Amino acid sequence: MSRRARVVVLISAAAIWLIGCLLTAPGAQAHAELVSATPADGARLSGVPTQVTMTFSEGIAIRDCAVRAGGRTLPIREPSGQPDVLVADLSGVHATGGRLELDWRSVSSDDGHVATGSISFLISAAPATALAGASAVPSPAAGVPGPDPAVHRAVITAQFLGFLSAALFIGGLAFLAMAWPQGSGVPRIRRALSVAWLLGLCSTVAETMSQAAYAALLPMSGVFNGAAVQNLFGTRLGAVLISRALLWLLAGVVLVGLLQQQQRAAQSPGWRVGLIAIAFGLLRTVSMPGHDETAHPLLGAIADTVHLAGVSLWIGGLLILLFGVLPRRRPQEMAVAVARYSNRALVSMLAIVGAGALMAWQLVGSVHALLHTSYGHTLLLKLALVVTVLALAQRSKAWVRHRLDVAVLLDGDRATVRPFIYSVAAEAGLALAILAAASVLVSANPGR
């Protein structure tokens, strides 16, 4: 069987696996969604209950949650030892027209995601009086307010920049270590890695501030609210973001070692061990806020890490290849670096597809959710981009196989190399689009 045939077989097998997972997977939630309520939603009651107990799909940050009835905010508490349960006190609440509707807002303690919804009860013996300003069907103003859309966009932008900087930094350094050690002395590569490091640190700070405002339901001006940031630091998400910022500072030590010792550092076992340790920490802290790991914690953690590692090795190497190796058009460099990257890129893409299929199985849960929710539509777009990238990558491999020797013989002739540069540039552009789609998916709800 030829190499191309083997690639087609592997990709087909991955696609069949993905389809099978979507057909048989159980549903999952990525945010703190309401699982059950006591009394149950839609129950017919003889009178207004004294309290309502709500159970969510994961732990909640009780101080940021809220329950309202007819525009009135109700007292809420969290039972001891039950971080996923909220109890709302309905003392003094009256029903109107035989119906009581409660609007709720939950904030996940793990990742700060906000979810909203409502539950209602039919009251067979409702009193004639009601809360001031209440109506049988609450107006939109009476509901629980959600996050500011501008703040939500700021969170997505910060996450995109975080993904991009991590991919360029980790993948770029790995490319130098495995395929092109002499590139550590190229000025433009050194500048690109320095910018990636600075962008990673700044995007982490920006994500921290925007996530704090997002969880506290503040406007854009609230990103500078010290109390909101302090509240965020008391959550799991805050701890993850602090850890990521510290890891970026440690990553600066790895970068400085490369900038000072250049090729010697890239080929040093000690430096490579340091890079692996920092890369693993960054990958875990980048992935932890983004995906649900409550159903299968270990499996979800492994899939997240493998997926992001594949993305980083693929995109980081691709950008270094595009802006570092190819513009120099040095035949021997191209012959070695391009061939080495081509082999590793195939492994990276298989890791991306395999781990991505597993995460889709956990998060989407059904073909209906894939086809009828905005999350599913974004995921389908991402999958379409991945398939297109695979086609471009296969074309690039064909160029490497058939024309690289010619390019070497012609001493890096511009006309000979240009089609390959165009293919790599298109692949890099699609890679950025995939990162953008991933940033949207991280903040989206699979059930909507």
Q: Chain-wide mean pLDDT for the chain?
A: 77
Per cent of the chain over pLDDT 70 is 67
- What was the pLDDT predicted at 62? 85
The whole-angstrom distance between residue 426's C-alpha and the CA centroid of its chain comes to 23
For residue range 360-410, list pLDDT tens digits in order. 666 666 666 666 666 666 667 767 777 776 666 666 555 555 555 555 555
Q: Is 127 helix (H, G, I), strand (E, B) or coil?
A: coil
Amino acid, res. 372: H
d(CA 263, CA 251): 18
Q: For residue 434, is pLDDT > 70?
A: no
Residues in the chain, total? 448
Q: What is the pTM of this model?
A: 0.68
Question: pLDDT (tens digit, 9 = 90+) per residue, 398-421?
Answer: 555 555 555 555 554 555 566 666
Amino acid residing at 30: A
Q: Look at residue 402 in the predicted model and tell me its pLDDT.
A: 54
CB distance 96 to 126 below 8 Å: yes
pLDDT at 142: 46
Question: Which CATH number describes the domain made up of 34-142?
Answer: 2.60.40.1220
| Most confident listed range (3-17, 176-190, 285-299) | 176-190
The CA dihedral of 275, 281, 286, 290, to the nearest 10 degrees, is: 140
Between the two ends of the chain, the Cα-to-Cα distance in Å is 44
For residue 118, what are the β-bridge partners? 103
CA distances from 35 to 90, 180, 386 (A): 20, 52, 34
Contact (CB, 8 A) for 204 and 242: no
Neighbour-count burial for 142-158, b at 16+ CB within 10 Å, e otherwise: bbbeebbeebbebbbbb
Model confidence at 207: pLDDT above 90: yes
307-325 pLDDT, tens digit per residue, is 889 889 988 988 898 888 8
pLDDT of 299 > 70? The answer is: yes
Give the model's pLDDT for residue 24: 42
Instruction: Please report the beta strands in 124-212, taking only residues with DSSP state E, as ranges in sequence order.
Output: none
More confident call, 236 vs 362:
236
Are 178 and 257 in contact by the 8 Å Cβ rule? The answer is no
Candidate from 208-212, 240-244, 369-373 with smallest mean pLDDT: 369-373
Mean pLDDT value across residues 174-185? 92
